[in-house]
């Protein structure tokens, strides 16, 4: 079963492909995506990596959480479900 990880404090130079390459050191990566600001088209400094197995996800979390990458300490944790936004206050 795939496990999705949140990766924060990423350098703005990191791409989907470089993030996938980095996390592949811990196991098979199903997908990796950097979140891009829709107005500036620049990275928001965080993204998500989907590892193919629970074991790979735990290994990646242990290996990369707090690890320095291009001068920034990464934050790696299990991704939480997105909350539904309620803009109308209903």
Instruction: Identify which of 62, 90, 78 has the alpha carbon closest to the alpha carbon of residue 8.
Output: 78
In a domain, 85, yes or no: no
Structural element, H or E, at residue 72: strand 72-73
Instruction: Assign residue 68 the CATH number of its domain.
Output: 3.30.70.330
* pTM summary value: 0.88
Asked if residue 14 has pLDDT above 80, the reply is yes
Residue 16 structural domain: 3-78
Rounded Cα distance, 46 and 8, in Å:
4
Contact 19, 32 (CB under 8 A): yes
In a domain, 49, yes or no: yes
In a domain, 65, yes or no: yes
For the chain, give the mean pLDDT.
92
């Amino acid at each position: 079963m795939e496990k999705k990880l949140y990766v924060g404090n990423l350098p703005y130079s990191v791409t989907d492909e470089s993030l996938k390459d980095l996390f592949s050191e811990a196991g098979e990566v199903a997908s990796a995506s950097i979140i891009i600001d829709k107005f500036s088209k620049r990275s928001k400094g965080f993204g998500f990596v989907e590892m193919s197995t629970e074991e790979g996800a735990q290994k990646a979390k242990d290996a990369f959480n707090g690890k320095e990458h291009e001068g920034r300490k990464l934050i790696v944790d299990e991704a939480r479900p997105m909350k539904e936004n309620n803009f109308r206050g209903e």
